[in-house]
């Protein structure tokens, strides 16, 4: 028995070494810094204890309110919903009878992987070109069809910048969501759908009472995972718009970066980080409950 215990400790030691050094220690360090006025330019001097000042500033700042709105509403709620809805529609399309009948399944599934295999940095560069007002193909197409008379600078125009950003993120992340839904759809027995049809169920009823209940676990997991992948993501916003125009698309991840590395206010930046981590911890607990109940039952 003690032999087995030694084995368990040895096998888990590397994992926890990484978790403690890379996640736990930095989190505690941030928490401690968030109560100080530590500055990037005065690291040696260290920070003075300022109590809850950083948090007070954060709560009362109108800038932070817009950052919170951008992160929660635009990036996360709208961004994730678009991905889930399009992922579902695409999964239905790719597993539809017509596609199966003409044997287009395999080829479309391989092509579906292409955006996912495109690294985010490349996806961002290519979409920045496509959305470019001078040489971009989207403006060229819009001008050609006569829908617009002037090229649109999508990434520099308040009305277009969020939809454009969400388009880029959706394009890059849609395949994973779609493939997950497709796998779930394929595990649904054909007899169940045939039975529903024999019973005279309409298409909407079949969708409502057969497909959606079967897909529900996959949808829940994808909503949760997409939420923390998106909420925490720094690269898409930073490399596409640099939080601009102005600070119009500033989100929490870019706010931590701007306050810490551009303004040099590490104390305040840590406070923003602590708020971010707190929101994600709440999500994480929800996520754990769900995977404990559904997916990895035997571990828990």
Partner 1 sequence: MAAVANLSSGGGAQMKRAIGELLIILLLLSVLFVLVYPTAWIFIASFRTPETMFSRGAHVYTLDNYRALLASEFARSIFNSLFLCIVSVLASTAVSVVAAYVFSRLRFRWKRTLFGAVMMGQTFPWIILVTPVFILFARMGLLNSVSGMVFVYVAVSIPFSIYLLVGYLESVPRTLDEAAIVDGCSRWQVIWKIVFPVMLPGVVATATYAFLLCWSEYLFALAFLTETEKKTMPLLLAGYFGENVVEWGHVMAGSALTTLPTLLLFLPLQTRMTSGLAAGSVKQ
Q: Binding of partner 1 at residue 64 (CB under 8 A)?
A: no
Footprint on residues 174-213 left by partner 1 (CB under 8 A): 174-175, 179
Site string (110-129) toward partner 1, x via CB under 8 A: xxxxxxxxxxxxxx-xxxxx
User: C-alpha angle with apex 167: 261 to 66, nearest 5 degrees?
Assistant: 45
Pick the closer one to partner 1 by CB: 246 or 284. Answer: 284
- Rounded Cα gap, residues 33 and 44, in angstroms: 14
Looking at beta carbons only, is 96 or 209 nearer to partner 1? 96
Residue 36: φ, ψ to 5°:
-125, 175
Around 1, how many Cα atoms within 13 Å sit in the side-chain half-sphere?
Answer: 0
117 or 198: whose CB is closer to partner 1? 117
Shorter beta-carbon distance to partner 1: residue 102 or 198:
102
Which of these segments, 62-70, 73-81, 212-220, 287-295, binds partner 1 (CB under 8 A)? Answer: 287-295
Torsion of CA 253, 255, 258, 259, to 10 degrees: -120
Backbone phi, psi, residue 200, to 5°: 85, 20
Cβ contact 196:188 at 8 Å: no
Ranges within 7-26 binding partner 1 (CB under 8 A): 7-8, 11-12, 14-16, 18-19, 21-23, 25-26
Residues 129-168 that bind partner 1 (CB under 8 A): 129-130, 135, 137
Q: Does 29 help bind partner 1 (rule: CB under 8 A)?
A: yes
Q: Least separation, in Å, of the C-beta of 56 and partner 1?
A: 20
Whether the Cβ atoms of residue 181 and residue 221 lie closer than 8 Å to each other: no
């Amino acid at each position: 028995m003690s032999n087995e215990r030694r084995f368990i400790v040895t096998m888990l030691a590397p994992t926890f070494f990484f978790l403690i050094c890379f996640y736990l220690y930095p989190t505690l360090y941030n928490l401690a810094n968030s109560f100080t006025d530590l500055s990037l330019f005065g690291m040696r001097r260290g920070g003075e204890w300022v109590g809850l000042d950083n948090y007070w500033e954060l709560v009362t700042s109108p800038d932070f309110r817009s950052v919170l709105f951008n992160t929660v509403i635009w990036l996360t709620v709208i961004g994730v919903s678009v991905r889930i809805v399009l992922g579902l529609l695409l999964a239905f399309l790719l597993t539809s009878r017509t596609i199966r009948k003409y044997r287009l399944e395999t080829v479309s599934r391989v092509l579906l992987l292409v955006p996912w295999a495109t690294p985010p940095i490349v996806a961002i560069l290519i979409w920045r070109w496509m959305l470019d007002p001078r040489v971009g193909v989207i403006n060229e197409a819009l001008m050609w069809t006569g829908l617009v008379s002037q090229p649109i600078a999508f990434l520099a125009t308040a009305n277009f910048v969020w939809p454009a950003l969400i388009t880029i993120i959706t394009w890059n992340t849609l395949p994973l969501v779609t493939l997950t839904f497709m796998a779930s759809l394929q595990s649904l027995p054909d007899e169940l759908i045939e039975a529903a049809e024999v019973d005279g169920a309409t298409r909407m009823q079949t969708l409502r009472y057969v497909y959606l209940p079967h897909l529900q676990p996959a949808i829940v997991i994808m909503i949760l995972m997409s939420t923390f992948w998106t909420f925490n993501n720094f690269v898409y916003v930073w490399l596409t718009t640099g939080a601009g125009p102005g600070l119009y698309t500033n989100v929490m991840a870019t706010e931590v970066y701007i306050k810490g590395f551009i303004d040099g206010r590490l104390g305040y930046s840590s406070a923003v980080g602590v708020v971010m981590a707190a929101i994600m911890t709440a999500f994480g607990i929800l996520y754990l409950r769900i995977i404990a109940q559904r997916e990895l039952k035997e571990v828990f």
